[in-house]
Every structure is written in structure tokens, then in C-alpha cells.
Chains A and B, each alone.
Chain A
Amino acid sequence: MSEITLYNHDLDENCYRVRLMLSFLGLAHEIVAIDMVPGHEEKGPAMRALNPLGSLPILKDGDLVLYGTQAILAHLARAHDAAGVWLPLEPAIFSRVMQWTFFSATALSCAIEARRVAVFGLGGDLETLKHEARQALRIMDDHMVLRHIEGFEWFAADTPTIADLSLLPSFALSRDYGIDHDEFPALRRWLRRFRILPGFRTMPGIPDYH
């Protein structure tokens, strides 16, 4: 049994964020499939013993049990990325990585919720969520317009970091919740570059061909 265990649902985009990180770092791990839809297994007592919030993903790494997608990404980058490229510690870069990584947990939460409503048929005001998600994607596109003008292809550093990784699924999956890529040329460019990174993998909703 490998040291790292991911409690996972294949269609959940936050689980995909962690699967991407594990793949980029080439880390051996065990996957425990959780019946999130329709079973709500992550909200049952066994899973709440691991994560009282009753959400996925949950990561076990040795004795450490972690929940919260961004915390898991930061942990994997600190503990298992010897080169330190996914979470650079130089203060100026680290601050930017944190800003955009938190953006994926705050401003993009409406995008994640919009997809859950659209794909899993859960209750929620899809139009309001879509409106808020579009605003967040515009902020990302505006940022990447400026980054490209400055000669950079990534959100926070001159190489991809957990900021790019944590933001990317909400854009790559935006057609799932009814937002097309037409209006976001700078994000299309960024997605194309991210897709060809060694270790990239898709999930349902992100085409294998591009």
C-alpha cells in the first residue's frame, strides 16, 4: 500500500485538482473511490471522521490527514516537490501564488458550485452563479492579458505553480456550466500551454484531443 491515499470522486473538479498535482509530481498513490453522486458518501459518519466538513477531496499522507483542496496542493508541493517549482518560496512570487491560489477557493467557488448545479442537478441558482463565475474568469483573463504583454505565460511566476493548477479546472470545465471560451483569449492561450506540460491529464469534461 502506498503512503499517499486520495479519497476521490472522478467527476469532482476539486479531486481533479489533487489528481493533477499527484500526476505532475509523479507520486505513487492509492485512490479510494467515494460515492459522492448520488450517494453523498462523503457526508456519512465514516468520512466525516476524516473531514468534518463532509467534502472531497481528502488526502492521507502517512499519519497526516488533510482536507481543503488548496491546503492539499500546498502540502504536496512542499513535501514532495524537491525542486520547489510548484510552490516557490521567494517572497515576491510566494505572495502572488497565494493570492491566486486563494482566488480559486474564493472568487471561483461560484464556478465550482455552478458546475455542480449544472452537471449533478443539485439545487442552486445557476444563472446567478454563472454571472459571478463569468466575472471571476474575466478577472483571470485580464490578468493573463497583462502577463502576456509582460512576456509571461503563467499566473504568478515564469513557470507554472499551484496557482495555475488550482485556477485551471474552472476554466477548462466552464462549458459544463454554460460558459464558452470565446470571450477569454488569454485564458485559451494559457490552457493550451498548461495542457502540454509533462504529466498533464484530463478528466471527463476536458477533451483528450485539443
Chain B
Amino acid sequence: MSSEAAWVPVALSASIEPGTSAGAVVEGAELVVWRDAKGVAHVWEDRCPHRGMRMSFGFVRGDHIACLYHGWSYDTAGQCRHIPAHPDLDVPKTIKIATYAVEEAGGVIWTRLATAAQAADPLPTMGTNLPVRSLYADCSAAHALAILKQTLLPVGKGETCPGRLQVVTPHVWTLEAGALSLSIAVQLIGPQKIGLHILADEGAADLIPHLARWAQALRLALEEPVTVAEVA
């Protein structure tokens, strides 16, 4: 388990367009990640207090997100502001969705599954990055680390180079090969399920398509049945 103070990634910033929402799971906790019309990202518990419907199925209007079931509409603080079936009702303050701290850094949306009162770890420093893709695979973080230690990265002109893996924090890994520097924001979804939000340094624009194909092949390697030798 991660510390609740830790910043954990839930999506690439570029994957959550203004006015849209998506679901994300962090260590079994279901979250909705949404971006309001002004471009501000929000991470909440993925549950409407009314009937338990997932808010990630809902729709964003301006700086409110509404539940798909009955249109209950919530402001950026998670407070319900409007119930269409009772348009004149002054909505009770108790109708509120749990919200989490959000920061965007290095091209990634980060959240902290702690209450506001708890001290926060520092935000991961990732520099300026170009998004490659988010890769989802059925494997543990430990297995992903073992595979990434052996990976060959595309470095241009059809050549590959062994990557040097560094675990900066449980949620930030880096891979370097020659002039190329990859940042991987690690989303622990479940014991055997992982999301790798992969970004490259600014100088690697021409390599992005190759890196996307490398990531696609990486998923095959991550999900290959583990051999006895590796277990031992």
C-alpha cells in the first residue's frame, strides 16, 4: 500500500480534455477524474450519493459535473447544487461527494488520497514532458520493474539501446538511454493491474511514435506468463 500522503498519478493531463470525465482506480479505490470548462482538473470519489451511480459516467457542464442517472449536479467543491426533480429545493449541505487534492505536474494529473488535514509529500518533480501514452497491463509493479530493467528503448535511426531504470519514488520511475529520458508515472490499480503513464523529454519529439510502439510491445512482455527462472 502507498502512503496516503503520497501523490499518485491518475491520468496523463492530455487525456482528460476540458469538459470531460473518466474513471480511474487507485489501489481499488474508484475515482472520477474530470476537467471543468475552465481547464481545472478534479479528482473525486466516483460515486453519486443519491443512488451510488459512478460520476465518471456523468457529464460536465461549465464548472459542474452531473450524474447520468438523475442529473444531480455538483460544483467544484463536490457540493450538490441542483436536483432537477426538485428544482426549487435548497440542496442540503450534506449532499456532497468526497474530493481529493489535485495537482498537475510534468504532464500528469496527480492526486492524494488523504484528508486535507494530513501533511502532504512534496509533489513529484518531472520537468517538462511530452506525453507518449498511458499503458495498462495486468501485472504487479515488481514484475513491471523486473521487465523494464531489461528493456531496449528506441533511440532513433532504427537503433535501440538498453534503458537505465531508476525508481525515484514508488510512483515515479525514469528510464534513460543515450540522450533520451523517459518519465513513467506509475498508477497502482490493483495487485496485478498497473497503469504506466509514459512521457518523454522535450528533445524526443521525433521519437514519440517509436516510443508508442515500444510501449505497445512492452505490454506483451509485461503480461507474458512469468517463467520459473524469474520467480526463483
Contact = CB atoms under 8 A, between A and B. Distances in A.
B199 interface: no
Interface stretch (B14-22, B99-107, B110-118, B165-173): B14-22
A138 B209 CA distance: 17
Interface residue SS majority, chain B: strand
A192 B212 contact: no
Interface string A178-195: 001111011011001000
Interface string B112-141: 000000000000000000000110100000
Given A150-B209, A192-B20, A207-B68, A182 B59 contact: no
A86 B209 CA distance: 27
Nearest to A139: B216
Contact of B136 (A150, A183, A188, A207): A183
Contact of B208 (A149, A181, A192): A149
B22 A185 contact: yes
Interface in B12-43: 12, 15, 17, 20, 22-25
A138 B138 CA distance: 13
A119 to B, nearest CB: 17
Nearest to B57: A207
Given A182-B22, A182-B23, A210-B59, A149 B12 contact: no
Contacts of A183: 136, 195
B68 A209 contact: yes
B22 A181 contact: yes
B213 A185 contact: no
Contact-residue bracket for chain A: 10 to 19
B22 A146 contact: no
Nearest to B11: A185
Interface in B195-231: 195, 208-209, 212-213, 216, 219
Contact-residue bracket for chain B: 20 to 34
Contacts of A182: 22-25, 56, 136
B212 A146 contact: yes
B4 to A, nearest CB: 22
Contacts of B56: 182
Contacts of A142: 216
A145 interface: yes
Contacts of A150: 209
Contacts of B57: 175, 207
Contacts of A188: 15, 20, 22
B53 to A, nearest CB: 11
B85 to A, nearest CB: 16
Interface string A94-122: 00000000000000000000000000000
Interface in A138-182: 138, 142, 145-146, 149-150, 175, 180-182
A181 B133 contact: no
A48 to B, nearest CB: 39
Contact of B59 (A181, A185, A209): A209
A181 B212 CA distance: 20
A180 B23 contact: yes
Contacts of B209: 146, 149-150
B203 to A, nearest CB: 17
B102 to A, nearest CB: 17
Nearest to A146: B212
A207 B54 CA distance: 13
Contact of B213 (A138, A146, A209, A210): A146
Contacts of A192: 17, 20
B58 to A, nearest CB: 8
A183 B15 CA distance: 11
A145 B23 contact: no
Pick the 6 closest A-B CB pairs, nearest first.
Answer: A185-B15, A183-B136, A209-B59, A182-B23, A145-B133, A142-B216
26 contacts: A142-B216, A145-B133, A146-B209, A146-B212, A149-B208, A149-B209, A150-B209, A175-B57, A181-B23, A182-B22, A182-B24, A182-B56, A183-B195, A185-B15, A185-B22, A185-B134, A188-B15, A188-B22, A189-B15, A189-B17, A192-B17, A207-B57, A207-B59, A207-B68, A209-B59, A210-B59
